[in-house]
Structure 1
């Protein structure tokens, strides 16, 4: 193998049992921003009721950048923490028409008075994120405060695109958001969540959580009002929109949500009447959720390529801001039934890869940081024995279970840090995906191998750090100095090395 001098830019081929890996640090794509998760819904319960030792364990798993004595990370080092700003359904109790106590949220606002002792359980983990050095925080609303809605509730009317909001309260709404954003010094604020979904009462007259739809015209109007308030109050928090319920609503112009789709053009095309790209407090970002669009592979890739192309044309970044396993995904994997193992972890890792590689996502976030459900929606789970669910049995205390999905996300989040650039890389190994990143100080490769084990022969005698997640390992650290890297079957492995020590 020819020896290369380090010149800061690399074009290189590696060989792994006859298979070729090619990467080029001269060809870069998006600059990575963050990896995150949200505090819905369980953190309000856990942060308020659970023993300190268990809360600390959860915070360590989610936020820590420390390693144990063997060099293995103690946590996944999230770089973004999402905080649900409640609408006040908790105070309403059963009259909120939200059946599940776990999914009712407190409000900081009572009348015209702010009570910063509210949402203390969630504040515990927000504080923990900051203490652990998480660089970005984002506050998001599922509903406006109940005293500002049309029906006095935190759920929608059930009518397509009908925003549950009293427009006469727009000044109170912008005051509320600015006050909360400044109090917690959120880096970002997302005022709407999944605007395409109705979030209304079902046949029983009850709903499952806070939420409201909103159409593009109203969303643009309210965002302008909020942007003006942020300027007037010198609020440093940046506004992120629109958190589309599915990625197709970002690019489709003829969908089943005709006044809630085409959102990249609607908000970031200068010729659109709903253009928001000139608002100085609106982040040049389009945010959407990867739900229901991840299977089969052909659809996953094609849609993400369309999102990436459209975002590039609009000169904005794309954030995948919420995902877990929902639906049956073309028969590949079902949302029902908790899975702490590698099947779900590998599926999720492929989605992360596709959002980053095919759509050029700069930020990627999971849905529930902690779940009590018998569902594939958590990174960490809390159950009492075999008793699963958001119920009284798990309300005051329960056992904690880390999932392989947690550590799979960590293969990205812990090592692909804010400011790194994605580089061109490919691998000719069946059933193995790869992404590469650099900050000119270190290079990071993440391999998602759902196929057979193989060996890579790396052309350097300097240390390469590997972190491997398998059915029996969680970011397990190994220092490799002979250039021979073992990639297990059904694994996710991250390679890290110093840029200026790549070659002899």
Structure 2
């Protein structure tokens, strides 16, 4: 009996020892090695931003000061708290909606949701009331106080006094502009006067966008219309841009015109409509609609990433087409509106998606727009909207729970806010994206479900690296930076699904060491040497 026990014990010990040896000898997974050369630069970064539609008016005008100031801090602040954690996401652009006057029309506007109606400065007698849009103006003032570098004005519709049907949306589905043919100059003079007014108040708009998503018909059943809007065909866009360029010159304004705010990225280079192939139409050398010679028009096309976010292969293919077309015609590219309007963010799953799932998907779209489409600016729609912060946070950075009249309420941070912040807070205007090399040689499509990495430089002796770990297990990252001293260190900010980990400051580390990326996380490394 004892002999059997001893024999069994011996065999067990040998087996355990052999197993342990096998485990000990099993090689550890190699880290993802990223090679960086600060001299290998891609596009310059202009800004990261968001828009305040539609709820900036109520918040800025009515909500208690403590609440609205905290919302502004979350969006605009670049400061850190006592523990070194960011107080906000440091946006470098803020989009302001120049209203068409549908609020004044009330129910006669035909727009059902009162919060989607927008006040207008122009009155029916031709005079201007500069006391309008006080809530939105409050956010402009906050943006300036926090040092936001770019104020951007845009209009969804001309003033209702100038539209063909006297409404802020179309009632005839002909895909033509709602602006009366004899009011082009009046419309652009109106825009110039608004810009002049704000400039006199110390709020200078660097950019103006007179056309928004021209491909949609923007029609609606009276009383059920969703918002202000107008379609535009390419010749109509060219006409309004030419007129606006003249108006800006007459008012001696330096504001630049951005266009065409394409409703989908594919309209920039393809599609078949009166508002398609817009890069070729507006910047083609032999195009009758060429706008590149106008003094207020930068060599830049602007589009929206909506509805081009389903499936990694399609996401990358569309953005590669944008980059190739823009490069061929010598123009830059901005992504100026995105939220998860379609169901691509579900990535084939059913049921609700967690706030972290949404934040990771948002970070992926930002990454692909920057690294594949070469976007030099990236802006989110919308900064805040009614909703909950825990699941399917597809439309907003900050979830609002307002009272019935939108004069007060509660608000909540989402993971989307901090996902954008991983870029906006640290990648400042004038920095450049860097070209990188991965030791696993994964394509943008293959990396989209694993680890995505991008890097940026601009300030002396400083690099920023953003890493998105899409996987459910921790991953190791190793950086190899050309001509960096061995003693270079980094600060690490991490967002995970944990409620208290929102760009949380982790311990400082050395570049020569491997960096652990938590499961399903976003990490920004600020490298100093």
- 1:56 aligns with 69
Aligned to 2:477, which of 431, 456, 467?
A: 456
Shift of 1:282: 1.0
Structure 1 CA distance for aligned equivalents of residues 169 and 114 of structure 2:
14
- 1:196 aligns with 215
Aligned to 1:382, which of 388, 392, 400?
A: 400
Query: Which is greater in Rg?
Result: 2
Structure 2 CA distance for aligned equivalents of residues 218 and 259 of structure 1:
10
- Paired residues for 1:133-212 under 5 Å: 133-184=147-198, 185-202=204-221, 206-212=224-230
Shift of 1:72: 1.1
Normalising by the residue count of structure 2, what TM-score does the alignment of the two structures yield? 0.86
- Paired residues for 1:419-430 under 5 Å: 419-427=430-438, 428=440
Aligned to 1:66, which of 79, 83, 96?
A: 79
Shift of 1:317: 0.9
SS at 2:382 equivalent: strand
- 2:413 aligns with 402
- 1:358 aligns with 372
- 2:404 aligns with 393
Aligned to 1:474, which of 502, 511, 515?
A: 502
Structure 2 CA distance for aligned equivalents of residues 137 and 476 of structure 1:
28
- 1:447 aligns with 467
Shift of 1:161: 1.8
Change in Cα spacing, 1:475 to 1:347, as seen in structure 2 (3 Å) is same
What do residues 227-268 of structure 1 show as CA deviations (whole Å, max 9, x unaligned)?
A: 11111221111100000000000010x43xx21100000111
Change in Cα spacing, 1:239 to 1:18, as seen in structure 2 (3 Å) is closer
Shift of 1:381: 0.9
Structure 2 CA distance for aligned equivalents of residues 216 and 335 of structure 1:
39
Q: Does the 8 A contact of 1:372 with 1:381 survive in 2?
A: yes
- Paired residues for 1:255-274 under 5 Å: 255=272, 258-274=273-289
Which aligned runs of 4 or more in structure 1 are off by greater than 4 angstroms?
Answer: 333-337
What do residues 85-142 of structure 1 show as CA deviations (whole Å, max 9, x unaligned)?
A: 0000000000000000000000011132111110001111110000000000100000
Structure 2 CA distance for aligned equivalents of residues 290 and 173 of structure 1:
28
| In the alignment, structure 1 residue 329 sits paired with structure 2 residue 344 | yes
Q: Does the 8 A contact of 1:426 with 1:434 survive in 2?
A: no
Structure 2 CA distance for aligned equivalents of residues 361 and 336 of structure 1:
32
Q: Does the 8 A contact of 1:340 with 1:404 survive in 2?
A: no
Shift of 1:24: 2.4
SS at 1:81 equivalent: strand
SS at 2:264 equivalent: coil
What do residues 274-310 of structure 1 show as CA deviations (whole Å, max 9, x unaligned)?
A: 1101101112210000000011111110110110111
SS at 2:299 equivalent: strand
Structure 2 CA distance for aligned equivalents of residues 414 and 357 of structure 1:
18
- Paired residues for 1:109-148 under 5 Å: 109-110=122-123, 111-148=125-162
Shift of 1:26: 2.5
- 1:78 aligns with 91
- 2:363 aligns with 349
Q: Does the 8 A contact of 2:32 with 2:476 survive in 1?
A: no
Q: Does the 8 A contact of 1:328 with 1:335 survive in 2?
A: no
Shift of 1:455: 2.9
Normalising by the residue count of structure 1, what TM-score does the alignment of the two structures yield? 0.90
Q: Does the 8 A contact of 1:16 with 1:457 survive in 2?
A: no
| In the alignment, structure 1 residue 487 sits paired with structure 2 residue 487 | no
Shift of 1:33: 0.5
Change in Cα spacing, 1:267 to 1:335, as seen in structure 2 (3 Å) is farther
Unaligned runs of 5+ in 1: 1-14, 385-391
Q: Does the 8 A contact of 2:31 with 2:476 survive in 1?
A: no
Structure 1 CA distance for aligned equivalents of residues 354 and 211 of structure 2:
31
- 2:297 aligns with 282
Structure 2 CA distance for aligned equivalents of residues 33 and 300 of structure 1:
23
SS at 1:153 equivalent: coil
- 1:389 aligns with none
SS at 2:324 equivalent: helix
Task: Answer 1 or 2: which has greater strand percent.
Answer: 1
Structure 1 CA distance for aligned equivalents of residues 348 and 238 of structure 2:
36
| Matched positions, count | 473
Change in Cα spacing, 1:205 to 1:52, as seen in structure 2 (3 Å) is closer
Change in Cα spacing, 1:190 to 1:379, as seen in structure 2 (3 Å) is same
